Chain A
C-alpha cells in the first residue's frame, strides 16, 4: 500500500519541480505530466550501445531501478506499513540504494568515456560522505524512540512530546538535503547545465538510451518521492484517520516538490570542491540532533 502511494507520488514529483522552476523563472513551463510522457516515449525507443561496453552496461540500469523499487518497499507511509520491515531496516534501505549506485557507477565506467568516469567518481565520493549523516540522523531518532525500524520509529515518534516536532524540523531539513545530494540536484549538482564537465549524475548516463534511460528517469522520480515520504512520516503521526493521512501524504510530497523547485531556482551550484564540506555540515547537523536527544 505504502509502495503504491510512493509510486503514485513519484509520477508527479519531477513534473511539479519543473513547473515550480518555470513559474519562478516567469515561464509558462511544460505540463506536470511531461516527465511521464518522456518516460513513455523512451519506453518505445530502441537503444544504442557503445562498442566499448559489456553486459555490465546493459544490466546496470535494471539493477539500479530494482534497488530503488526495493528501497521503496522498505519505507512505510504513516501506519500503512511497509512491504519489508524489520529492526534496523533503515540500514538495509541505505545499503540497497548503495547496491544500485554500485551498478550505476560501474555501468558508467563501462563506456570508457572520460566524462562518465568523472561523474562516477564524484557520485561515489559524495554518496560516501552522505552515509554517516543518514546513519546518525536515523540512529538518533531510533535512540529517541527506542526502536530501530522505520515503521516503529515513525509510529512512536509522535508520542515523544512537543520536542519531537522541533527535532522533526531539523531532521526534515537534513533529509531534504540528503535527497538533493542523492538525486544530484542543485546545491551539489546541476542537471540542467550545458557543460558535461560539471555534472554528476546526468553525465553518468550519457550513453544510456531507450528502455534503460526510462528506468533511470523513473528511478530518479521514485528516489525523490522516497526521501519525501521519509519527511512525510516525521509529521504525519498526529493524524489517525487513514484517508486524512493519505491526503496529508500527498500534501507534504507536493510541498517537498515545490521546495525542491524553489531551492533549484534560487540557489547556485556550489563549487565541486566545496561540496564535500557542505555534505560534512549535514553530518555535524545530524550529530547535533543526536546530542539534543541524548
Chain B
C-alpha cells in the first residue's frame, strides 16, 4: 500500500499538453487501426491481445505524464515500453518483425537502465522517490555531477526519442509495426523522451550550458543524419522512421538551445527554445500521423513498401495522396503549414543566440542555424522524392497490382477520415500560433523557475507576437495562390487543351522503366554524404571465362552507418564473450540440478559468513 500512496497525482501544464496530445493520437490510431487490421487474416484472440496491449501502453503513458513520483514514472514507462513492444510484434510470425521487436525491446530497456540509475542516485541521497526531493538532491551535488546526472537522463530518454547514437531500433521497428502503431509510436510514444528531458531539465541549477552544448550538438547531428538517411531510403516506412529521427533532432535542438541560454542567463532565449521544441513536438505528431496513415493506405492497397515499385498512385488513391502531400509540406517545414512556424522560432532563437559574447557559442549557433537550413533543404529533397515516386508519374512495376477493393475501402471508409480529422487542427495551428505559444509559455513557466526581468518578459511577448505575422504571411501565400489559380482558370477557359504523351526528348517509345527512380533522385546526395550511408552491394561480377553470361541481379542496400559502426560491434562482442560459457549449457538435466545445488550451497555459505 505504501507504493500506491507514493503515486502523487499532480498534473503539470506540460503533463496536460502531452496527455491531450497522446489521447487524441491514440483515439485516431484506434479508429484507423480497426480499419487497417481488417486487411490482415487475424483471429479474435490476436486482435484482443493487440488492442489490450495498446490500451496498456496508453495507461502507462497516462501514468508517467500524471505522476510526481519517480517510482511511478518508471512503472508507467515500463508499461508503455511493454505495451508498445507487443503492438509492434503484431505479425510475430514473420522473423523480421520479431527481430525488429526484440531490438526495440532490448534497446528501450537499456534506456530504462540509464533512467533508473539516475533515479536511484536521487534515492540514495534523499531516501525518497517523489519529484519534490530532486531539488534537495541537486543542491547536494556539484556542477559536474549535475551534468552527469542529467546526461544519464538524456541518454535514457534519448533511447526512446531516437536521438543518435541511440536511434538504431527506430528504422527497424517502424516498418515492422502495423501503420497505426507506427503512427502512434512516432507521433507520441517517441515524444515521451522529449517530455522526460524537458521535465527533469528544470531541476538543474548549474552547468546547463555544458549540457546544452552536448544536447544541441547531438540534436543537430541527429537531424542531419536522420534526414540524409531518409532521403536515401527506398522503403517508405523506413523513410518516415528516419524522418522521425530528424524531427526529434529539431525538437532537441530547441531544448539544447534553451539549456545553453539558461546557462548564459538569457531567460527570453530559453523560453523561445523550449516553446519551439514543444511547438515542433505538436506539429511533428500531427503530420507524422497523417503521413503514416496515408502510407498505410498505400501499403494496404499494394502490399509493398518499396517506393521503386510504385508510381502514379495519386490517380488511384486521390485522397490519401492529397493528405500525404499536405503532411509532407508541413513536416518539411515549408509554409503555409505549422511546421514552418516552429522551425522559424528555432531559427530566430539561433539568430538571437548569435549575439552571445562567447565566440565558440556564437559559432555553434550560426553553424546550427546553417545545419538547420541544410536539413530543411534535404527534407524537401526527401519528400519530393517520396511523394513524387509513390504518387506521381506512372507505375514502375507491373507486378504491383493495386487491390481495387482495398483502395475503395481505404479511400472511402474509416481509413481516410481519421486523417481528415487532423486537418482542422492543422488549420488552427496556422491561424492561431500565438494562442498556442502562450499555452506553451505557461507549460515552461511552471517547470522552469527562471528569473524574469521586464526586458525578458517583453522579449518573450514580442517573439510570440511575431508568430501572428508569420501566419499572416502564410495567409498571404494561400491568397495569392487562390487568386493566381483563379486567373489561370479564367485564362484557360478559352484556350484549347489537348492531351498527349510526355515529351521524350526525341525518344518516341518511352516505357515506364525509363522514369527517374528514387535511388537516382537521391544518388548525388548519397555520394556527398557517403560517409553516413555505407552501401553494401550484392553483385556477382562477370568472369572473363564466362562466354555467355547468365542472368544476373544487382542489389544496393544502404546501411545505417552508426548501427554498423558502433552498435553491431558491441553486440557481436557481447555475443562472442557469452559464447565462451556455452559449455555450461550442455542439455544434461543432471548437470543443471548440480548447478542449482551448488548455488544454494554458495548462498548458505555466504549467509553463514556474513
Tell me the A residues contacting B by CB distance below 8 Å.
43-56, 59, 62-63, 65-67, 69-70, 73-74, 83-89, 91-92, 94-96, 98-99, 101-102, 105-106, 109-118, 120-122, 124-125, 127-132, 134-136, 139-140, 142-143, 146, 148, 196, 206-207, 210-212, 215, 276, 283, 287, 290, 294
Contacts and interface: CB of A to CB of B under 8 A. Distances in A.
26 contacts: A48-B498, A52-B393, A54-B312, A62-B484, A70-B476, A84-B472, A87-B462, A89-B469, A92-B340, A95-B333, A95-B334, A99-B477, A105-B380, A106-B384, A112-B393, A112-B510, A113-B515, A118-B516, A120-B388, A121-B381, A125-B524, A132-B374, A135-B347, A139-B369, A146-B355, A211-B495
Nearest to A147: B351
A112 B512 contact: yes
Interface string B538-552: 000000000000000
Interface residues on B, range: 35 or more
Contacts of B523: 121
Contacts of B499: 48-51
Nearest to A54: B314
Contacts, number: 256
Given A99-B335, A102-B384, A132-B374, A111 B393 contact: yes
Interface stretch (B152-160, B287-295, B500-508): B500-508
Interface of A is mostly: helix
A267 to B, nearest CB: 22
B457 interface: no
B135 interface: no
B473 interface: yes
Interface in B349-395: 350-351, 354-355, 359, 362, 366, 369-374, 376-378, 380-381, 383-385, 387-389, 391-394
Contacts of A69: 480, 484
Interface stretch (B88-96, B111-119, B485-493): B485-493
Contacts of B452: none
Residue of A53, A113, A207 with most chain B CB atoms under a 10 A cut-off: A113
B500 A117 contact: no
Contacts of B369: 135-136, 139
A92 B477 CA distance: 11
A86 B505 contact: no
A25 B394 CA distance: 44
B343 to A, nearest CB: 8
Contacts of B384: 102, 105-106, 109, 120, 124
Contacts of A99: 329, 334-336, 477
B381 A131 contact: no
A70 B362 contact: no
Contact of B381 (A67, A128, A142): A128
Contact of A117 (B314, B348, B371, B521): B521
Given A47-B497, A110-B392, A131-B373, A148 B351 contact: yes
Given A88-B351, A114-B516, A122-B524, A66 B466 contact: no
- Closest CB pairs A-B (n = 7): A117-B516, A128-B377, A109-B388, A46-B496, A86-B469, A132-B370, A112-B393
Given A95-B333, A109-B389, A113-B504, A127 B380 contact: yes
B599 interface: no
A70 B381 contact: no
B525 interface: yes
Contacts of A89: 469, 473
Contact of A148 (B314, B335, B348): B348
Residue of B473, B492, B495 with most chain A CB atoms under a 10 A cut-off: B473
A131 B377 contact: yes
Contacts of B564: none
B345 to A, nearest CB: 9
A86 B502 contact: no
Contact of B394 (A45, A52, A207): A52
Contact of B470 (A86, A111, A135, A140): A86
Nearest to B393: A112
Given A49-B497, A66-B477, A95-B343, 10 more contacts: A50-B501, A54-B391, A66-B481, A88-B351, A91-B347, A112-B502, A117-B515, A128-B374, A132-B373, A206-B503
Interface string B448-471: 000000000000001100100110
B233 to A, nearest CB: 15
B466 A276 contact: no
A50 B389 CA distance: 17
Nearest to B354: A143
Contact of B473 (A46, A92, A113, A207): A92
A115 B521 CA distance: 11
Interface string B313-343: 0110000000001000100111110001001
Nearest to B507: A114
B469 A95 contact: no
Contacts of A121: 381, 385, 516, 520-524
B392 A106 contact: yes
Contact of A124 (B348, B381, B492): B381
A58 B522 CA distance: 25
Contacts of A211: 488, 491-492, 495
Nearest to A136: B370
Given A128-B381, A139-B354, A109 B374 contact: no
B521 A294 contact: no
Residue of B388, B463, B510 with most chain A CB atoms under a 10 A cut-off: B388
A177 to B, nearest CB: 16
Given A91-B347, A95-B333, A102-B384, A125 B525 contact: yes
Contact of A87 (B348, B389, B500): B348
A132 to B, nearest CB: 4
A95 B359 CA distance: 28
B528 interface: yes
A65 B487 CA distance: 12
Contact of B392 (A56, A122, A143): A56
A215 B389 CA distance: 25
A71 to B, nearest CB: 10
Nearest to A275: B524
A95 B522 contact: no
Residue of A47, A91, A118, A134 with most chain B CB atoms under a 10 A cut-off: A91
A28 B502 CA distance: 36
Contact of B380 (A44, A102, A134): A102
Contacts of B325: 56, 106
B311 interface: yes
Contact of A134 (B373, B463, B466): B373
A109 B385 CA distance: 9
B344 interface: yes
Given A50-B501, A102-B329, A56 B516 contact: no
Given A47-B492, A63-B481, A56 B498 contact: no
A206 B469 CA distance: 37
Contacts of B578: none
Contacts of B477: 66-67, 70, 96, 99
B351 to A, nearest CB: 5
B466 A95 contact: no
B589 interface: no
Contacts of A98: 332, 334, 376-377, 380
Residue of A115, A135, A142, A212 with most chain B CB atoms under a 10 A cut-off: A135
B470 A66 contact: no
A66 B492 CA distance: 17
A113 B510 contact: yes
B405 interface: no
B488 A54 contact: no
B466 A87 contact: yes
A92 B335 contact: yes
Contacts of A70: 473, 476-477, 480
Contacts of A125: 381, 524-525
